[in-house]
Structure 1
Amino acid sequence: MNFKKYISFPLLLFIPLSVAADALHWGDLVVFITSAIAIAPLAIWLSTATEELALALGPAVGGLLNALFGNATELIIALVALRQGLVEIVKASITGSILGDLLLVLGLAMFWGGLKFKEQEFQKIVVRVSAPTMALAVTAIALPTIVINTSQVVDPVAITNLSIIAAAVLMIVYGLTLLFSLKTHSYLYDVGMISQPNPNLVKPTHIGMWVGVLVVSTLGVAIESDLFVGVVESVTNTFGLTPLFTGVILLPLLGDIAGYVTAVRVATQNNMDLTVSIALGSSLLVALFVAPVLVLVGQWMGQPMDLNFNPFEVIAIVIAITVANLISLSGRSNWLDGALLLATYIVLGVAFYYHPA
């Protein structure tokens, strides 16, 4: 049993605790803490089920599963928040997820991997493909913000239409990246697996078991997210936290805990190819799929969700992409590279904490 699964077992106790805290009215803070902790093991098991099914079903289907469920926890939390009208927090969570993947996940992996190995190498192809693709994503995300800040009169309908068109284009681009990485140029992405395939996993009984784990974990995340989001405003207001800081820092830290554990574990096994693929691939998934889905679903729900981000969020994403690309383009990493990425994340996090928005 790997470490990720081992640490998840005691945390499962917080699932009934969070439900009891809500039902018995133990207070918003107790519900906030217990539901936040309860989401962590569910996210770990959701991630584990996705990995195991990917191993069992082969590279093509497995790659598609990872593409669809790689950020499932973050997407579920964002959808629940969107349903409750917390649009600004949802927008900020998109920014936070991208920053977390590029700076925190990659930084932790390079730092801990660099402590064990003097220098680690990885294929440059993932970086070369993701860099221009992420540049396109940031351009599309920044356009409504740029239009608003360069126009004297802003038509909300025009901003909404621009956001919908940009979201559609980004989803098409995401589909093209999947076609490129899983089909036409899949040989360039032979970065290895997290663990060696287990022959027993191909048996229908094992596949059915992991499908069950995937379904139960997804439902559990949805239930706990509803509890968490229901009290997040009151608790964060009590501590003087802005929706911007809550969305950029708190929600991504909660939603991607499985990604942090996996990236660090793989890096300490000297498989930086997979680590870099996880971090950059996850950031692309957020920018090209999660953000557009939230825009389209928000319009369907009647929520004013668009791509009009706080200008500082756009600047922070540009900084994160620039720093991550500068460090990753060499195809080599060490503990200092990881420290630089983590330092960038910390500085931006402090800036978001003091930002008055």
Structure 2
Amino acid sequence: MHHLLKEIRHNPLLWMLVFVPIVLAVEAAAPSAHTALFVLAVLAIVPLAALLSHATESVAEKTGDAVGGLLNATLGNLTELIIAIAALHAGEYMLVKASIAGAIVTNSLFMLGASFLLGGLRHHVQEYNRAGGRMYAALLLMATIALLAPSAVADLDPARGEAMALALSTGLAVLLICAYGLGLLFSLKTHKELFASEEHGETGGAGWPIGLALGTLLVVTVLVALVSEIFVSSVQKAGETLGLSPAFVGFIIVALVGAAAEMAVAFSAARKNRLDMSVSIALGSASQIALFVAPALVLLSYVVGPKPMDLQFWPGAVTMVMIASVTSCFITNSGRSAWFIGALLVLIYAIFAMTLYMVPPGSHGPV
């Protein structure tokens, strides 16, 4: 605990942790103050992301970048899962699908691209183990193909399309979870030597004890989940006040805030020339959302939702996810990166964001 208090005392960014109890108190006292809750939630997530970054780096020093990145991506995606379960319970299936698609695109384009860009501005050329990146990109591509199937089946027989898409989605959910498990077995057990980290990064000095780091990870992840729930509950109304469309809010803003904790770790690792960890977090998180979070939500919808949810996304979302998946496969083929590659990925993401931003605020079609 001494290490944690010392870090908070000497890091001005962590002084913003005061916003965590403030946003929880405001949510309890004035739940209808959506714009205020939106701003406070963003201010609260920033220091939580920084604290999570330090704790995850401490764990990575003991376990290695690949396992450390996997751990961070898993805990980071717990936030999206908790938010999505709450939305499922409320029957907000379009919000769930928008957040899933947005998280995949945000992680595989913006987080990966910004990591390449920030790392490349400090290091001329960076190298990473391409085996991990290629595996995550291949899993993501397979999951994207699975997202295309329900829409194709629904179009074949409009009369029975909804029932057929739901039955197919349930079967695909089981297959995707099996593929995710096989990927973990392959990378962490049978062929783990292929995914060893490149030993050329900065270690950043002594980290926290492993017990403190793991405890901090768990507590901060729960706090991020609580604050993110408040953010999502207020962001729709706040978006209307600020003139943002539901498509932009669900696909861009919710995804960016939900991944803030993971981004803090990925960007910090890239600046320290630990690109293996950045790639593992970005593409590992995207593939986990596609292969585990999305199918798990389909199965959970039978229990917590008013009716089962399928994997039939609107065409624009599937197109963006497919482009992001193919681009990730192409980019990670070399195992080397420079700042210009990252800039291109960020620009592709900016094109998607600009397109969704132009959707009229009163339009609910895309989501």
Shorter-chain TM-score above 0.5: yes
Cα distance change, pair 123–224 in 1 and its aligned pair in 2 (3 A): closer
Counterpart-to-counterpart distance in 2, 1:280 and 1:154 = 36
Tell me, yes or no, if structure 1 residue 335 matches structure 2 residue 336: no
Q: Structure 1 stretch 180-189 or stretch 62-71: which is displaced more? A: 62-71
Q: Partners of 1:299 and 1:36 in 2: how far apart? A: 32
Change over 3 Å in CA distance of 1:279–1:68 after alignment to 2: closer
Task: Describe the superposition over 1:2-28 as per-residue Cα deviations: whole angstroms up to 9, x where unpaired.
Answer: 89x946512212112212322332722
- Report the 3-state secondary structure (helix = DSSP H, G, I; strand = E; otherwise coil) of the residue aligned with 1:13: helix
Q: Deviations over 1:87-110 (max 9, x none)?
A: 211111111111111111111111
Asked whether 1:134 is paired with 2:137, we answer: no
Moved more, 225-234 or 290-299: 225-234
Other structure's SS at 1:71 match: helix
More deviation, 7-16/305-314:
7-16
Shift of 1:313: 0.4
Check whether the contact 2:72–2:281 (CA below 8 A) recurs between aligned residues. no
- Closer, same or farther: CA 268–227 of 1 in aligned 2, 3 Å: closer
Change beyond 3 A, Cα 1:330–1:162: same
Is the 8 Å Cα contact of residues 50 and 69 (structure 1) preserved in structure 2? no
Matched, 1:277 2:283: no
Match of 1:346 among 321, 334, 350: 350
- Give the residue type in structure 2 aligned to 1:265: S
Distance 1:295 1:36, change over 3 A: farther
- 2: CA distance, partners of 1:220 / 1:348: 30
Are 1:42 and 2:45 matched, yes or no? no
Q: Deviations over 1:164-191 (max 9, x none)?
A: 1111111110000000000000011111
SS in 1 for 2:330: helix
Q: Which residue of 2 aligns with 1:309?
A: 313
Residues 266 and 281 in structure 2, CA contact (< 8 A), matched pair in contact too: yes
Q: 3-state SS of the aligned residue for 2:124?
A: coil
Q: C-alpha distance in 1, partners of 2:316/2:66?
A: 38
| Equivalent position amino acid for 1:318 in 2 | M
The counterpart of 2:174, out of the listed 148, 160, 168, is 168
Contact kept, 8 Å, 1:82 with 1:298, in 2: the verdict is: yes
Residue 163 to residue 40, structure 1, CA distance change in 2 (3 Å): farther
* Letter aligned with residue 333 of structure 2: L
The gaps in structure 1 that reach 5 residues or longer are none
Say if 1:222 and 1:262 are closer, same or farther in 2 by CA, change over 3 A: closer
Structure 1 residue 147: deviation in Å? 1.9
**What is aligned with 1:84?**
90
Aligned length: 352
> Are the aligned partners of 1:56 and 1:197 in contact in 2 as well (CA < 8 Å)?
no
| Distance change (3 Å), C-alpha of 1:126 and 1:215 | closer
Query: What pairs with 1:97-116 in structure 2 (closer than 5 Å)?
Result: 97-116=103-122
Q: Give the drift of 1:277.
A: 2.3
* 1:50-89 equivalences in 2 (<5 Å): 50-53=56-59, 55-56=61-62, 65-66=71-72, 68-89=74-95
1:236 aligns with 2:242: no
- In structure 1, distance between residues paired with 2:120 and 2:303: 46
Can you give the 5+ residue segments of structure 2 that lack an aligned partner in the other structure? 1-5
User: How far apart, in 2, do the equivalents of 1:7 and 1:157 lie?
Assistant: 54
CA shift in 2, pair 1:315/1:69, >3 Å: same
Deviates more, 1:52-61 or 1:98-107: 52-61
1:11 aligns with: 16
Cα pair 2:107 2:282 within 8 Å, conserved: yes
1: CA distance, partners of 2:166 / 2:240: 29
In 2, are the aligned partners of 1:12 and 1:41 still within 8 Å (CA)? yes
